Amino acid sequence: MKGNLKRISVDKLRSGMFLGTDVINSNGIVLIGKNTVISEKIILRMKLYQITSVVIIEQEQPEPEIVPETIFVSPIDEQVVSVAPEIIEPATVAFNEFKEAYTEKQKIVQEKLLEISNGGNIPLDDLLDISTSLLSSLKTKSDLFNYLYNLRVTDDYTYSHSVNVALLCNVFGFWLNLKKPDLDNLTIAGLLHDIGKVQVNQRLLNKPGKLTKAEFDQIKMHAKIGYLMVQDQNISEDIKYGILMHHEKMDGSGYPLRLKDEDINRFGKIIGIVDIYDAMTSNRSYHKKFSPFQVIHIFEKESFGLLDLKYLFVFLENIAHNYVGKMVRLSNGVEGKIFFINKHSPSRPLIQVGDEILDLSELLDVTIEEIL
């Protein structure tokens, strides 16, 4: 099409305009093709890709050959929003099979932890198989978060929590690019992190309502008790310290040793993050589960100075991305689909509601209340 070409700000684009040249990202990848008709959706995409200006055809001319929303996506562009994989709903056969296998593994974990607490050797291969066999049954790692969120049980919480933390530690370690020996040890440490609770009064662990200071002090002993159980076992020191230090905090306010920052073992830091996440997304006798995005928001608000941010940011961003394409219910009752994750505030993504896009970073009184 003949006509004058003019570069304008993306903020000045209007529906019905035509692109005069291809829109290319910083990696040289064509995102939107020449002659594409501009729509609100196209404008939103440009803003998401941080495109600030484009060339348009200025004069009115006979209709060009329209290339409707010709959008190219490259996996190497870190800013590209990829289409979310199909999310398997919890009522499917795959979920039911996972649930059955999970229940079986939970019983095995209970047996193994009781044996170890009574002085038995730690069967490393058997413990690792509990997690790897469950993970290998999943189509994608994204399924794990969907399944665990819908699987939540209140009975035998210590043992189901141990399985969950092991599975989540394995995925977290993968995100951190840990080498296989470290990844295996982190997974086992996640499974054993609360072994000390086997010797804590179970009534206290399941008590509804607030604990007294004396009761909480008794529960806090589980980290040291667990460490003493495994101290003389022929296992990695990282596993032992993961058990001992998963409740330590960067500012020294944690327990049992009140360690700070560099004195806290990396497994303790990693397991500490996963432990909190799983506890808050689980139904307990004293609280209902929070949605993953509510938990991410709490992490964002309350973790500074307590958790190691170099691990926390990796965890939060990857969890949030696992829910792209998932239907959610907002605190105002509106239902929509997670469209794009805000890198600077993962708890406040863009939500697609029909043809409209809601930016939760601008709607501060609205939160994601439930994953549907």
Rounded Cα distance, 281 and 278, in Å: 5
- Residue matched to tokens 């662990």: 205
pLDDT of residue 265: 98
Do 125 and 268 lie in one domain? The reply is yes
- Residue matched to tokens 């990693």: 270
pLDDT at 142 over 60: yes
pLDDT of residue 252: 97
Number of separate domains in the chain: 3
Q: How confident is the model at residue 27 (pLDDT cuts 50, 70, 90)?
A: low
Quote the domain boundaries for residue 332. 327-371
Do 56 and 114 lie in one domain? The reply is no
153 by DSSP, 3-state: which? coil
Domain finish residue from 234, 262, 289: 289
Q: How confident is the model at residue 86 (pLDDT cuts 50, 70, 90)?
A: very low
Average pLDDT over residues 49-65: 68
How do residues 244-294 score in pLDDT, each as one tens digit?
A: 999 999 999 999 999 999 999 999 999 999 999 999 998 776 667 899 999
Do 251 and 280 lie in one domain? The reply is yes
Average pLDDT over residues 159-171: 96
Q: Give the range among 3-7, 61-65, 313-317 with minimum mean pLDDT.
A: 61-65
pLDDT-above-90 percentage for the chain: 55
pLDDT at 365 over 60: yes
pTM exceeds 0.85: no
Kindly write down the DSSP assignment for every residue of 69-84, as one continuous string. Answer: T-B---TT-TT--PPP
pLDDT of residue 282: 85
pLDDT of residue 329: 93
Q: Which has the closest alpha carbon to 323: 55, 87, 66? A: 87
CATH (domain of 136): 1.10.3210.10
Kindly report whether the peptide bond that precedes residue 256 is cis, defined as omega within 30 degrees of 0. yes
Domain finish residue from 34, 63, 82: 82
Domain finish residue from 63, 82, 101: 82
Do 172 and 150 lie in one domain? The reply is yes
